[in-house]
Amino acid sequence: MKALTLAAFLLCLAGSSSASHVGTVDPQAIVLDYRKFGVEIAIEKDEAGNLTSLKVTKEGKVFDVPKNELAGFGKDFRLSRARVLVGFATAGSPVTRASFDSFTISIPYGPVTINMAGDKEVHSLDEVRFNFKEGKLDERTRSISAGDDTSTWKLFRKVPGMPEQSGGEGKGPANVFSD
């Protein structure tokens, strides 16, 4: 019995040590399910990490973001960190179907940038945001870290069908996370 217990312990120990060396894998596709509000969002990327598809279904109507709106700003999209931002006009109010009349899909991408905020190290990623109004893409914005210790970033705006325009610069981490 002792030999069996020792063997089981060693097997668990070996399994836990090998598990600590496993890295996380970001998914190739995700679905953000807000069906109780009449919204479902599907996002896909290719093997190189380039965004290939962004589809919003709102109350049965499907809207595919055009491919040219998904291109030209980098790769290594972190779909596991994608988020939906709603309710800007009604901050603090509960989310309802009306909250999705205007919403934003935020997806970080690119290499991690390490910046300083005072004496604290913060990690940030470049970020693209797809802003929707009444189920249609209204504007795409992206923030790109300058990669310096002052946490500066540049903002770019693009209205569908128009060229991307510079939106100025900002200070402070644009898309901060901690691991």
List pLDDT tens digits, range 126-148. Answer: 889 999 987 789 999 988 877 65
CB contact set of 60 (below 8 Å; sequence gap of 6+): 38
User: 92 and 81 in contact (C-beta within 8 Å)?
Assistant: no
Locate 78 and state its tokens. Answer: 């972190």
Mean pLDDT of the chain: 74
Taking 90 as the threshold, does the pLDDT of residue 27 lie above it? no
CA pseudo-torsion sign 174, 71, 73, 23: positive
User: 99 and 85 in contact (C-beta within 8 Å)?
Assistant: no
pLDDT of residue 125: 75
Which carries the bigger pLDDT value, residue 156 or residue 94? Answer: 156
Q: Above pLDDT 70, what percent of the chain? A: 68
- Token pair 């002052």 is at which residue? 150
- Taking the C-alpha atoms of residue 151 and residue 53, their distance in angstroms, rounded to an integer, is 30
pLDDT of residue 152: 72
Question: pLDDT tens, 37-96?
Answer: 888 999 999 888 889 999 998 888 888 899 888 887 777 888 888 888 876 545 566 777
Its pTM stands at: 0.73
